[in-house]
Chain A
Amino acid sequence: MIKRLLQPRWIAMVVLVGLLVASPAYLKDSPYQMAVVTGAFFYAILASSWALLAGIAGQFSFAHMALAGIGAYTAGILGRDLGTTPLQGIIAGTVLAGLVGLVIGILCLRLRAAYLALFTIAFSEILRIWLLTEFQFTEGSNGLMLDKLWEGITGVQEYYVMLGLLLGSMALMYWLASSRFGLFVRSMREDEEAASAMGVNVVRYKVLIFVITSLIVGLAGATFYHQVGIVTPNTMEILQMSLVIAMAVIGGMESLLGAAIGAFFSRVSLEMLREVGVFGFTIELGAWRYAAFGLLLIFTLRFAQNGLLYPIIDRLFMRGARKDTVAKRTLAEEET
């Protein structure tokens, strides 16, 4: 056990988590940087859960931001109309997002690849337009106000709430991905018919993966927008969903950690690139930073289809496992 924990991947993981936990001591003097990093955790949850859904299970969905929005709007509307506490609202938002994920999962049983993507794009757009037009109920484009998580919450506390959510959801997703469940959904991704023929209950796992990722993003959305204090239909624009996907692709969409780190770095970098100092001059990049982000995405798709972080994660986390597998196979072959 101790030998296992001393492996570089575990050491790297402990150091990484340790750095994240200790960062507020450094960031507390800069509320802005703290807010940016906290927001980056939200995108890391979205990107990693999308990696689980699309990269590992092969279900290409564009409904992630919409589901996060469902979580946030449910929490906000319940708080406004029924006076529920933020925690009660977050629980209700998470459950409703999970239920919507269940419905999408059932409806999409027969849809694959582009058709599933189109269905979820349509769902997201319908929801966004509905939120805009039913403004008496949703406040439309003016945005729905949400109470803070609790009275007097500080930036540091918000940081730890989102970090806790990120670590918790990552742990859950890693556990799932490395269990029989993960094996089954991977087999579904590779060949649904073959997986079914081998006894995988494709229907059940397809629905389950939608429900689980919907619960995660619903929880993240409801919590994050309670921190922001307002949620608008703009949040569900297809562009925002595309950003989440781009972040996951840059990090490595078949790797939960890669997608999370990719999203974290992308979000922080996009913020840092607002102003760039060169030889004493300050260049305001404005929207051009998204162009740079697009170039990075093109570069990734052309030269590093597994994501820019994948080679690092592969060496740190998977090479050892591969070695073990090869060693076991060699031993088995020698014995036979």
Chain B
Amino acid sequence: MTRRTAFGLVVILTIVSMLAACGPTPEPQTIVQTVEVEKTVVETVEVEVQPTRPAGETIRIGGVGPLSAPGSVVGGIAMQFAMNLAVSDINAEGGVLGKPLELIFADTEGLPERGAAAAERLITENGVVAITGEYHSAVGLAELEVCHEYGVPCLFSETWSDAITEAGYMEVFRIAPASSMNSRATAEWFAAVGVENVVSIVENTDYGIGQDEADQGFYEELGINSQEVFFVELGTEDFLPILTRIQALDPVPDAIRVAVTGETSFNLEQQMAELGIAPSEDTIGTANQVAIQPEFWESVPNGAYYVFSLVGLPPSLYNDTTTHVAEAYSAQFDSDPPSYALEAYDSIWILADAIERAGTTESTALIDALEDTDITLAQGRYYFEYTSKNPLPDNGSVPAYMWHQWPDPAVLLLQYFEPNQDWKDAAVIWPEVYQTHGTTYIVPGTTP
């Protein structure tokens, strides 16, 4: 054999071994191998080989989320932590159907192709009975096709795109808010407090433009007049030209909607308050959701009475389960749990509850049990209003994204009513079911 031929063989062997490693993982099971051992005499010995995770001894749930770039690694880590916490809590209470629950978490990297591959692996190689999690909508859209193909239930905990549930798949459920639910909250609140004319100040990005497009649709639907929309560049420091135009508007707007993020929103909000435009007795002032950051009061000292949105629960609305998750999360990350961590925790419990009620891990029975979900967890009471037993109306009166969608995700509006107030002490004013101070709006100069 020449050296060249030997090298050829090395290449071939490398490829063969690589392909062998790519081969299907055998179903984990107890295998009885017969091995011939040659000593002085030849005898047959039975050796029991135990795989790492024997099938049937645990019930496996697949977790999906980004643990590496370009995905949101912080989000993925928080979700993985919360899911592991839920699994450990469930197992401490005896597991599910008398067996321990096992979480297999797959890094989806924020890329649809990786998400689809991860879902494929969890279902076909790891034998999970359901999949939950995901942070990025685009990745979720790729994953749900895999779940649909295999008929495996998939409970999305942090993907907002309407398209996730709009597909109307039996296998797909969601407990995060749909994008439209989030956009709609402010418009619905405007209608509830009697706003007739609204001015929007919007950043010229996909967030800002998209938010404004959604808002305009809701305003029209709810009979609110959009007086003017001002588009601004991120990084703008001087808003006087825009604000003087607003001051000249007739009639005076009832509300100013701010869809500007980061430091730019702080500049805008301070100048708006300083000029007495909003929040004022005549005009409601809304701030961006970054108003919960400590920097808000440093940059917006006149920020009392601003209204801002929050997805998730403030500590004032925590129940015992939320407090338990918050304590564990805080011990690990030294901060309050974001909504996606609470959702991830709850999603594992929802699946465990469905398996327990179904009495089996068979997909159809599990989907059926998920449709009947009624359980109170860290974020509140979970249920799915529109299911195969209560289909979406044909007349289009209910948006298609409400299919298998939790109707009450915590999309809240909060209002500061004191200067330098901690966001955790701000009043929850909307929706009414979450109100903390018994009011839908605190007029500037008053206290609730």
A132 to B205, CA, bound (A): 8
For A1-24 the 0/1 string (1 means CB < 8 A from B) is 000000011011001100100010
A139 to B50, CA, bound (A): 48
For A21-41 the 0/1 string (1 means CB < 8 A from B) is 001001101111101110100
Q: How far is the CB of B146 from chain A (nearest CB, A)?
A: 9
- Whether A135 is near chain B, meaning CB under 8 Å from some CB there, is yes
A232 to B141, CA, bound (A): 11
A302 to B52, CA, bound (A): 37
Contact B53 A19 (CB under 8 A): no
Residue of chain B at shortest CB distance from A143: B138
Set B12, B71, B141: member contacting A230, Cβ < 8 A: B141
* Surface stretch bound by B, among A51-59, A181-189, A212-220, A268-276: A268-276
Contact A141 B24 (CB under 8 A): no
* Surface stretch bound by A, among B117-125, B220-228, B389-397, B419-427: B117-125
For B303-343 the 0/1 string (1 means CB < 8 A from A) is 00000000000000000000000000000000000000000
Contact B7 A136 (CB under 8 A): no
Set A19, A231, A237, A281: member contacting B70, Cβ < 8 A: A237
Given A8-B8, A228-B113, A286-B67, answer yes or no on A32-B124 (Cβ-Cβ < 8 Å). yes
- Whether A168 is near chain B, meaning CB under 8 Å from some CB there, is no
Question: Interface of chain A, helix or strand or loop or mixed?
Answer: helix
A131 to B67, CA, bound (A): 24
Chain A residues whose C-beta falls within 8 Å of the C-beta of B136 in the assembled complex: 141, 232, 234
List A residues 216-259 near B (Cβ within 8 Å): 224, 228-232, 234-235, 237, 239-240
- Whether B42 is near chain A, meaning CB under 8 Å from some CB there, is no
List A residues 128-152 near B (Cβ within 8 Å): 132-136, 140-143, 145
Residue of chain B at shortest CB distance from A134: B206
List B residues 141-178 near A (Cβ within 8 Å): 141-142, 145, 161, 163
Chain B residues whose C-beta falls within 8 Å of the C-beta of A237 in the assembled complex: 69-70
A244 to B73, CA, bound (A): 21
Chain B residues whose C-beta falls within 8 Å of the C-beta of A316 in the assembled complex: 4, 7-8, 11
Contact B52 A280 (CB under 8 A): yes
A240 to B124, CA, bound (A): 27
* Surface stretch bound by A, among B102-110, B275-283, B292-300: B102-110
A133 to B205, CA, bound (A): 5
A33 to B133, CA, bound (A): 22
Contact B4 A33 (CB under 8 A): no
Chain A residues whose C-beta falls within 8 Å of the C-beta of B129 in the assembled complex: none
* Surface stretch bound by A, among B15-23, B85-93, B192-200, B355-363: B15-23
Set B52, B69, B161, B163: member contacting A277, Cβ < 8 A: B52
- Whether B55 is near chain A, meaning CB under 8 Å from some CB there, is no
A282 to B53, CA, bound (A): 9
A170 to B180, CA, bound (A): 47
- Whether B399 is near chain A, meaning CB under 8 Å from some CB there, is no
Contact A143 B8 (CB under 8 A): no
- Whether A62 is near chain B, meaning CB under 8 Å from some CB there, is no
Given A8-B7, A27-B24, answer yes or no on A229-B68 (Cβ-Cβ < 8 Å). no
Q: How far is the CB of A5 from chain B (nearest CB, A)?
A: 14
Chain A residues whose C-beta falls within 8 Å of the C-beta of B70 in the assembled complex: 234, 237, 239-240
Chain B residues whose C-beta falls within 8 Å of the C-beta of A203 in the assembled complex: none
What class of interface size applies to chain B in its complex with A? 35 or more
- Whether A204 is near chain B, meaning CB under 8 Å from some CB there, is no
Contact A135 B210 (CB under 8 A): yes
Chain B residues whose C-beta falls within 8 Å of the C-beta of A37 in the assembled complex: 22
List B residues 1-33 near A (Cβ within 8 Å): 2-5, 7-8, 10-12, 15-16, 18-19, 21-25
Chain B residues whose C-beta falls within 8 Å of the C-beta of A132 in the assembled complex: 206
Q: How far is the CB of B52 from chain A (nearest CB, A)?
A: 5
Contact B107 A287 (CB under 8 A): yes
Most buried by B among A30, A234, A277: A234
Contact A23 B141 (CB under 8 A): no
List B residues 389-424 near A (Cβ within 8 Å): none
Q: How far is the CB of B168 from chain A (nearest CB, A)?
A: 15
Chain B residues whose C-beta falls within 8 Å of the C-beta of A239 in the assembled complex: 69-70
Contact A12 B8 (CB under 8 A): yes
- Whether A265 is near chain B, meaning CB under 8 Å from some CB there, is yes
For A262-302 the 0/1 string (1 means CB < 8 A from B) is 00010010011010010011101011001000000000000
Q: How far is the CB of B396 from chain A (nearest CB, A)?
A: 22
Contact A315 B141 (CB under 8 A): no
- Whether B112 is near chain A, meaning CB under 8 Å from some CB there, is yes
A290 to B71, CA, bound (A): 14
Given A26-B23, A33-B23, A33-B24, answer yes or no on A136-B117 (Cβ-Cβ < 8 Å). no
Chain A residues whose C-beta falls within 8 Å of the C-beta of B113 in the assembled complex: 39, 224, 228
Residue of chain B at shortest CB distance from A279: B52
List B residues 247-269 near A (Cβ within 8 Å): none
- Whether A109 is near chain B, meaning CB under 8 Å from some CB there, is no
Chain B residues whose C-beta falls within 8 Å of the C-beta of A12 in the assembled complex: 8, 11-12
- Whether B216 is near chain A, meaning CB under 8 Å from some CB there, is no
Chain B residues whose C-beta falls within 8 Å of the C-beta of A234 in the assembled complex: 70-71, 110-111, 136, 138
- Whether B435 is near chain A, meaning CB under 8 Å from some CB there, is no
Chain B residues whose C-beta falls within 8 Å of the C-beta of A141 in the assembled complex: 136-138, 206
Contact B5 A274 (CB under 8 A): no
Contact A142 B22 (CB under 8 A): no
For B190-214 the 0/1 string (1 means CB < 8 A from A) is 0000000000000011100110010
- Whether A319 is near chain B, meaning CB under 8 Å from some CB there, is yes
A280 to B15, CA, bound (A): 26
A-B contact pairs, 20 of them (CB 8 A): A8-B2, A8-B4, A26-B23, A30-B23, A30-B124, A30-B125, A33-B23, A33-B24, A37-B22, A39-B117, A135-B209, A135-B210, A141-B136, A232-B138, A234-B136, A240-B70, A268-B18, A286-B67, A316-B8, A319-B4
Assuming A141-B137, A228-B112, A316-B4, what are 9 further A-B pairs, CB within 8 angstroms? A19-B16, A32-B124, A39-B117, A133-B206, A135-B209, A229-B112, A234-B71, A234-B110, A312-B7
